[in-house]
Chains A and B, each alone.
Chain A
């Protein structure tokens, strides 16, 4: 049989597809129409006569269809014509102005917390549109034609002649219609990971995981609570919530790039167990000595980014960052939407005006070509790199990241390759309702980077400015933690969080296995809940036929091993510390871990509730210079009232 016969056979078999069952079809069509109706209710913007037409990309497509006049019948769809008119009215205000960063900050923040509608202060102020761009004029002209009668339309399929005069001047419109926050069906995605279960020390004494410096989950939880909803339990990653905060760990001394501190405390929610808190503090190299930095902003400008908590916030965030850069640093901007494009060639950070202009000219529109954008950004980063530079691609997206056809696996490999050649990737998430959290995590983890979620300008400041040095300068990579618990002392243990970061025991000594990185000044905290031998909190009966545990005579609770690589090194270094000590009072990390467990609906909390979390957090709040901890307590209060 020839090759072509094989193909024909396959084609025949594939075309012989079964018919859908009527019941399935009916159900699907019904749910589609219900969702459609719901979307219109929650989103007045979708009505044809209003500001639905504020999306430039959408209108571009529409105007194109009009001007090409592909199908005259199209114009019989009256709503389309009205849309064209709507576009003309609001076009001058499509792009927010960024004249004053502080003013903008005020404008962005309230809508994030208040809910549906944000009315601009000057919402009713009429404005006379002086001049109009070409496309809407065409649309208007068609509207005119439509009014004049369909027969004429069908008789003249050629491209319409622009009768500009019709549309010029004297169109009075409100400056900006009520701008509702669109609330489409939630398509956010989170990694599937079951909570860590209780392990029996004698059966499985070794626990291994990769560190994680991400904080995206905390910002996500905050957004959800501020919005009046308990977060999706899958969105709550305990380690990311704990790591959002900094704790009082000693700074490193000597040659190691970080210091490790292990402490044992009582468990707030269980008198029969203890918490072991492992804290890692990265050194903060003198900022003046840092190498030049090459940043490629890879910005998602797909249509879904056209929302005030997305692209405008993103532009603001990057603007905040610019003053922190040095003249020797370089910045480039790549956008991706329908197609990927370089908006700003590599430019020295000293030319701030040029960079700012490029940022402000970004507009949302088009579908998403994420993969092409990513490749282009990496190519630019490589061009920019000199010896000793640090290169990083910063991907900013609302999660509408189309990995193209090569699939996620290939994308991961691509990012891994680039990581090994010295270009790292950070991912910043914006907006809500569409965030592909799982993909963000995957990309950042493979790119040795941080995934953060930006919901407010203050969060942008925290992530990009306060922690600029940390996020951008790795001091140690492939940092892995392994704890061997002493079965003579500890009957059971449970790692709190780090589900998505679990490693196999043998991965610990395998330098080929990737793990998380620590940036300058970063802190990482991990918590274990341990049950001492003889405690009445032991959940598993000892095996009748199991071997008796030999007393080792050691009073150590366990042994901590930590592996890391110097940036760019191929072989890892080992740090070892025994875990000892008598339990002290639980601190703020325990309060946050407990809060996160409550949000996840954990089985391990006995009767401990939000009220207890608030008490513990308030007692252990400390100085709280930036108010982050106070904010967490108010989130606990919100969660408490929402859960009742």
Chain B
């Protein structure tokens, strides 16, 4: 009667997470394979660096077995894991005492990297400049809304804030970007 892996491919994240929390290794394996890429991309959107994103995702994966025990199935797994990731990113930045400089640090390795195409490089430079111009909380907000394509309601849930705050933050983001565009225009 045990469900086969194929059957479980359709099992919800939440059910897998709860099963994993209770010791089901197969469920855990399915769950992390299902979400690794998403987590990595989110980490990249938070840090702007392939290297940091890999490290951060690695740390999350390592900590997830223990962390999962606090997953209660009350929120969606993705909501929960985004929150775990965001806290880990914050802690990491603080721990390495780069917090003060984190603002300048977004996209560090892109600055060094030889761009293959001029156009791609220009786009990347703009992104680095734009993200670096945002304070941390706005950067996290855009990573969730624009990057992960969460609705404002979903982003609010991840961040433990009201929907109104997210809306307000997005208008702040627009202001920052407008200021940036004006600067470039000069």
Cβ proximity bits B46-86 to A, threshold 8 Å, 1 near / 0 not:
00001001100110011111100111111000001001001
Cβ proximity bits A65-76 to B, threshold 8 Å, 1 near / 0 not:
100001101101
Q: What chain B residues lie within 8 Å of A185 (beta carbons)?
A: 62-63, 65-66
Q: From A13, which residue of chain B is reached at the shortest CB distance? A: B127
Q: A6-B181, A36-B25 are in contact. Are A61 and B160 (CB under 8 A)?
A: no
Residue A101 CB within 8 A of the other chain: no
Residue B117 CB within 8 A of the other chain: no
Q: A7-B170, A25-B36, A32-B32 are in contact. Are A73 and B7 (CB under 8 A)?
A: yes
In the bound assembly, the distance between CA atoms of A31 and B63 in angstroms comes to: 9
B54 CB to nearest chain A CB (Å)? 4
Q: What chain B residues lie within 8 Å of A33 (beta carbons)?
A: 25, 28-29, 32
Contact, CB under 8 Å: B177 / A10: yes
Q: What chain B residues lie within 8 Å of A4 (beta carbons)?
A: 174
In the bound assembly, the distance between CA atoms of A143 and B149 in angstroms comes to: 38
B67 CB to nearest chain A CB (Å)? 8
Residue A555 CB within 8 A of the other chain: no
Q: A58-B21, A77-B19 are in contact. Are A6 and B177 (CB under 8 A)?
A: yes
Question: Chain A interface secondary structure, helix, strand, loop or mixed?
Answer: helix
Those of A148-186 within 8 Å (CB) of chain B: 150, 184-185
B25 CB to nearest chain A CB (Å)? 6
Contact, CB under 8 Å: B19 / A57: no
Those of B162-186 within 8 Å (CB) of chain A: 170, 173-174, 177-178, 181
Residue A29 CB within 8 A of the other chain: yes
In the bound assembly, the distance between CA atoms of A184 and B8 in angstroms comes to: 27
Contact, CB under 8 Å: B8 / A76: yes
Place the interface of chain B in its size category: 35 or more
In the bound assembly, the distance between CA atoms of A281 and B20 in angstroms comes to: 54
Q: A28-B61, A64-B73, A302-B70 are in contact. Are A367 and B80 (CB under 8 A)?
A: yes
Q: How many residues of A contact B (CB 8 A)?
A: 81
Contact, CB under 8 Å: B57 / A20: yes
Contact, CB under 8 Å: B136 / A80: no
Contact, CB under 8 Å: B146 / A405: no
The interface-forming segment of A45-53, A198-206, A483-491, A586-594 is A45-53
Contact, CB under 8 Å: A80 / B22: yes
Q: What chain A residues lie within 8 Å of B91 (beta carbons)?
A: 189
Q: From A56, which residue of chain B is reached at the shortest CB distance? A: B72
Residue A570 CB within 8 A of the other chain: no
Cβ proximity bits A513-543 to B, threshold 8 Å, 1 near / 0 not:
0000000000000000000000000000000
Contact, CB under 8 Å: B137 / A7: no
Q: A20-B40, A35-B65 are in contact. Are A48 and B22 (CB under 8 A)?
A: yes
Residue A18 CB within 8 A of the other chain: yes
B47 CB to nearest chain A CB (Å)? 11
In the bound assembly, the distance between CA atoms of A52 and B18 in angstroms comes to: 11
Q: What chain B residues lie within 8 Å of A40 (beta carbons)?
A: 23, 25
Q: What chain A residues lie within 8 Å of B69 (beta carbons)?
A: 58, 184, 303-304
Q: What chain B residues lie within 8 Å of A326 (beta carbons)?
A: none
Q: What chain A residues lie within 8 Å of B140 (beta carbons)?
A: 405
Q: Footprint of B on A, CB under 8 Å?
A: 1, 3-4, 6-7, 9-11, 13-21, 24-25, 27-29, 31-33, 35-40, 46-48, 52-53, 57-58, 60-62, 64-65, 70-71, 73-74, 76-80, 83, 146, 150, 184-185, 187, 189, 192, 302-304, 338, 365-369, 371-372, 400, 402-409, 438
Q: Could you name 11 residue pairs across A and B whose Cβ atoms are closer than 8 Å?
A: A3-B177, A10-B173, A29-B32, A29-B33, A33-B32, A48-B24, A61-B72, A338-B74, A369-B160, A403-B90, A408-B94
Q: Footprint of A on B, CB under 8 Å?
A: 1-3, 7-8, 10-12, 14-16, 18-25, 27-29, 32-33, 36-37, 40-41, 44-45, 50, 53-54, 57-58, 61-66, 69-74, 80, 83, 86-87, 90-91, 94-95, 97, 99, 123-124, 126-127, 130, 136-137, 140, 142-143, 146-147, 149, 159-161, 170, 173-174, 177-178, 181
The 10 A-B residue pairs with the shortest CB-CB distance in the complex, in nearest-first order: A61-B73, A61-B72, A184-B66, A32-B61, A11-B146, A6-B177, A13-B127, A74-B15, A76-B3, A14-B147
